[in-house]
Structures are given as structure tokens and as C-alpha cells.
Amino acid sequence: MKHEGDQTASDSGTQPLLLRGDLGHCANRGRTYPREGNMSELVEVRDYKCLRYLRQSLQQFHLLVGSNASGKSTLLDSLLFVRDLSRLDVEAAVHAHRRSVAELVWKGGGDAFEIALEFRLPEEVRSTLADDCYRALRYEVRVRGTEGGIWLEVENLWLLAAPQRRGREREEVAGRSFPREPEVPDTIVIPPAKHAPKGWRKVMSRSKDGRVYVQSERTRWNMGLRPLPGRSGLTVIPEEQERFPAAVWLRRLLTERIQFLMLDSYAMRAPVPPDAPDTYQPTGANLTKLVEGLQKNHRNRFRDRVQHVHTVLEDVEEITVRERPRADALQRYCKGVG
Ligand SMILES: Nc1ncnc2c1ncn2[C@@H]1O[C@H](COP(=O)(O)OP(=O)(O)O)[C@@H](O)[C@H]1O
Ligand SMILES: [Mg+2]
């Protein structure tokens, strides 16, 4: 996943990802919910930076392409903001992105913005829930900031039953909505004390006085908690697989699994030791091992990759992995790459 241009997120200087579709007008690009088996997300944003309103589903591999200042980085930044909320105070999360909430609000025209993310639950988590109708988790927040401070005005975590297409999306799928301007909803979050839509089950919510209410995903067990000032409800949901398998999975996803591809050319030149991890490392340090795995187990995909590299580096006709014998260990390197 790669992206060009400036970075305003807390991971400034990193190389994030992708946009499919032009966000040129920061318009709503509502999509149908990702298909089953595809652990994709839906990003919904209101009044965040240059995004007046956006509703965009993300596929497992998703390229963001758009002209400068069309909102690519902002979309990524909204994911990072939620990631930051899962481990920082809301004030620190805001300050990791801008100096104030006002600077984060669309055109500085208000004192609140909203972000909602939906995550498809993996099968192993779904199967542990009491009711197998739940397929996704939706986390939503409204952040408000005034001279009096910065706080989470709304915060909810929902289990969602099978996704229902909203009316507008149904039309878009049928291709009838173009070129209608997107409608901006009044809000994308469910305020405290409002009824949940049909098929939504509350896992966590925050009351006006800052108390957080959690309800087990498997039983009717529930309790009220009072987080430290500024802490999100996400940070205080008990780390219990029994009661909160989905919420615990989500918190781990947010805190540990949002990664940025940041190739380290120095590390990539070094030989890869045999005990290097088999899984993708964002520095590219174990690229040789991944190439070898692809070559051995996925011949066709490997050939496609070589051809792809060939399109930009015409001299490269083949990529090979060699094991280099050494007295103490077997080291590997990638000819022409490592
Ligand atoms: N609070 C805000 N309100 C409106 N526009 C904003 C706000 N903050 C930043 N922007 C604008 O958003 C644009 C940056 O969008 P960005 O997501 O970085 O685009 P891209 O990554 O597609 O080049 C800039 O034009 C910037 O001025
Ligand atoms: Mg950018």
C-alpha cells in the first residue's frame, strides 16, 4: 500500500496506502458492504479535515488514487485517529494530529467531528459469539473541543447483524444516482439514549457524564465503568475473551495491526537469517524469505511479480534466492535484490 504526498498524521513521513476512486470532491462514495469472507472495513467520516462526509468501504487490498489534496491521506488519518484513541487520551490523540479540534473540523466551521469504522469479524471470533447473526463491529465517536477542553461526546461500539444496504447505496449500485450530490447526514453516530437500529447490539457506550457502559457480547452481563478523564471506552473494555471476544479482537487490531510500509534499504541489503519471520515485515527486512515462499508455493503469482518488476526495471528478468553457507549459520540473500 503506497501513497504519495504530504502527511499530516501522527506517523508523518511514513508511506501509507491507497485510494480507489477519486475523492476529489470529498464526496460520499457509498459502497455496498464488503462481501463475506473479506475482512474489510467501512470508513465513515463527517466533518473531519477536508472530508465533509465520506462513506467508503475498503477492500482487503485497496489502492487510493487521487489528485493532490483530494483526501487520500485524510482517509488514512481517520483510521490513525481511532488507532490513537485506542491507546491515548482523546486530547493526546487530537494533538497527535493537529493543534486543536477546530483545526481538525471541516473548514474549521465547528467544534466537533465524527468518525465511524466497521470491521468484518473473522470467523474464529464470530463463532465464539452467542448469536451467529453478528458479522461486523462498528466503532463510532464524536469528538468535541472547545475552550473548556476536548472530550468524547459520543462513543459506541456495536455488533452488527448482516449488513443492510441503505437506500442511497442501493441506488448507487444500480448506477442511477450519478451525478447527484451526496447527502450529508446530520450525524453518523447514535447519540446516548437513542435506540439502536434493528440488528445492532450494544457492546459499549458512553453516557453524557463520561461513564462507560459495557455489555458482554455473549450474555446479558453488563457493568458501568468510569474511565480516567479523556480515556476512550475502547481502552477500558475488560481484556476478557469470555465476555468480549470481538471487542478484544478489535482493540488488538487497532493497537497492533495497523502498519505502515516503511522500507529500510539498509536492512534489506543484509542477508536474511534462517530464523527470520515468515510474515510480512513493514521494513522489508525479510523480503528474501517472502520471495522464496512465493517462489516455492505460488509459482504463478511469483511469475506475475517478476513480470511486474520487469515493467519498471527492464534489466530484471528473474529473481532468485540463494542460500549462503556459513560456518555458524545458513544465511540467505536475494540476488539482485538483497
Ligand atoms: N480542517 C480542514 N478543513 C478543510 N480542509 C482541510 C482541513 N485540514 C486540511 N485540509 C485540506 O485537506 C487537504 C489535504 O488533503 P489530503 O488528505 O492530504 O490529500 P491527499 O493525500 O489526497 O493529497 C489540503 O488541501 C488541506 O488544506
Ligand atoms: Mg497525501
Residue 327 confidence (pLDDT): 53
In the reported structure, the alpha carbon of residue 18 is separated from the centroid of ligand 2 by a whole-number distance in angstroms of 10
Nearest to 144 by CA among 114, 178, 124: 114
In the reported structure, the alpha carbon of residue 119 is separated from the centroid of ligand 2 by a whole-number distance in angstroms of 24
Largest CA distance in the chain: 69
Residue 212 confidence (pLDDT): 97
**Residue 78, ligand 1, Cβ within 6 A:** no
Q: Vertex 73, ends 70 and 77: CA angle to 5°?
A: 130
Specify the residue with its C-alpha closest to ligand 1, atom 14.
69
Q: What does the pLDDT profile of the chain (338 residues) look like in tens digits?
A: 333 333 333 333 333 333 333 332 223 233 333 344 445 689 999 999 999 999 998 888 888 999 999 999 999 999 999 999 999 999 999 999 999 999 999 999 899 999 999 999 999 999 999 788 899 999 999 999 999 999 999 999 999 996 555 544 444 444 444 556 678 999 999 998 888 888 999 999 999 999 999 999 999 999 999 999 999 999 999 999 999 999 999 999 999 888 888 899 999 999 898 889 988 888 999 999 999 999 999 999 999 999 999 999 999 989 999 888 765 544 555 555 54
**Residue 97, ligand 1, Cβ within 6 A:** no
Return the ligand number nearest the Cα of 67.
Answer: 1
In the reported structure, the alpha carbon of residue 75 is separated from the centroid of ligand 1 by a whole-number distance in angstroms of 10
In the reported structure, the alpha carbon of residue 5 is separated from the centroid of ligand 2 by a whole-number distance in angstroms of 4
In the reported structure, the alpha carbon of residue 77 is separated from the centroid of ligand 2 by a whole-number distance in angstroms of 10
Give the position, in ligand 1's atom list, of the atom nearest the Cα of 7: 18
Instruction: Provide the b/e sequence for 248-272 (b: ≥16 CB within 10 Å).
Output: bbbbebbeeebebbeeeeeebeebb
Residue 173 confidence (pLDDT): 45
User: Ligand 2 (ion): which residues have CB within 5 A?
Assistant: 5, 72-73
| Preceding omega of 245 cis (within 30 degrees of 0) | no
Specify the residue with its C-alpha closest to ligand 1, atom 25.
69
- Side-chain half-sphere CA neighbours of 261 within 13 A: 11
In the reported structure, the alpha carbon of residue 8 is separated from the centroid of ligand 2 by a whole-number distance in angstroms of 8
**Residue 142, ligand 1, Cβ within 6 A:** no
* Test site for ligand 1: of 43, 46, 74, 80, most ligand atoms within 8 A of the Cβ: 74
Nearest to 23 by CA among 52, 47, 2, 1: 52
**Residue 108, ligand 1, Cβ within 6 A:** yes
**Residue 50, ligand 1, Cβ within 6 A:** yes
**Residue 70, ligand 1, Cβ within 6 A:** yes
